[in-house]
Amino acid sequence: MIDFDQVRLVDVSRHYGRRRALWQVSLLARAGEIVGLLGPNGAGKSTLLGVLATLIAPASGGVYYGDHSPRTGTAALRKRIGLLAHELHLYPELSARQNLAFFAQLYGLDAHETVDRALDAAGLSDRGDDEVSGFSRGLRQRLALERALLHRPRLVLLDEPFTGLDDRSVGVVTDRLQRLAADGSIVLLATHDLDLADGLVTRVALIRGGRMVSDEPAASGLRARYRALVGGA
């Protein structure tokens, strides 16, 4: 079992034809941190998450998971990574329980024990047998988060995890992320919601035009700092 307590990007660049998505981006994230990836639309946040998830290969530079890299075993690394992307990867015609059981089996987990724990963590124990097609976006988001955490990944990557969440769901997800970090996970989340990020993230990585503009400890006044660095975008 591969394990690691930090992830490093060293001068990572990625291009799509002539468009530069990332340019010489370096970042270090450690166990116990919640790193907020902030920046305007098209800044490169989703591409950066894709690189960390080993789904996108950088054109240059390196990505290191402790002493490991994708070159030494991508499949083994992916077993330690959980990803919540814009596409939630849920089957609407199945119940919440059936969705989680399906993915648990893909990971070779005991479905019964794993699913019950996941439903409880999502606050959906009373909706486990309901079809996902009847869920609000917020409930789907909470279920998809637990789908991404079934295998207890070391590295948790989240792309706009607060999309469509009401206040109660925001509280559930925020508490879950804080507990993950407290238990030693490395959490990176891309978000446009500066108010929710303020007070949740422990580090802030600001990206603009594919470049890392700033990487610093989180502090109060995040919105003002963001405007100063990205020009109010």
**Contact criterion met (CB below 8 Å) for 213 and 59:** no
Range list of β-strands (E), the chain: 6-16, 19-30, 34-38, 60-65, 81-84, 155-159, 186-190, 203-208, 211-217
pLDDT digits (tens, 9 = 90+) for 87-106: 899 999 999 999 999 999 99
Residue 160 domain-assigned?
Answer: no
The stretch 18-34 carries a mean pLDDT of: 95
pTM: 0.93
Residue 134 maps to a domain: yes
In a domain, 132, yes or no: yes
The β-bridge partners of 8 are: 28, 64
Q: Classify residue 178: in a domain, yes or no.
A: no
Is residue 95 domain-resident?
Answer: yes
Q: What is the pLDDT of residue 18?
A: 84
Q: Is the pLDDT of residue 233 over 80?
A: no
pLDDT at 232 over 60: no
CA torsion angle for 2, 71, 32, 146 (degrees, to 10)? -70
Q: Is pLDDT at 72 greater than 80 in this prediction?
A: no
179 in a domain, yes or no? Answer: no
Angle between helical axes of 137-149 and 111-122 (0-180°, round to 10): 140
At 133-156, the pLDDT tens digits run 999 988 999 999 999 999 999 999
Domain for residue 18, yes or no? no
Number of separate domains in the chain: 1
Per residue in 152-170, pLDDT tens? 999 999 999 998 888 888 9
Residue 108 within any structural domain of the chain: yes
Q: Is the pLDDT of residue 230 over 60?
A: yes
Name which residue leads in pLDDT, 208 or 220.
208
What value does the mean pLDDT of the chain take?
93
When pLDDT is averaged across residues 110-138 and rounded to a whole number, the result is 94
Range of the domain at 135: 81-152
pLDDT tens across 34-56, in order?
A: 999 999 988 999 999 999 999 99
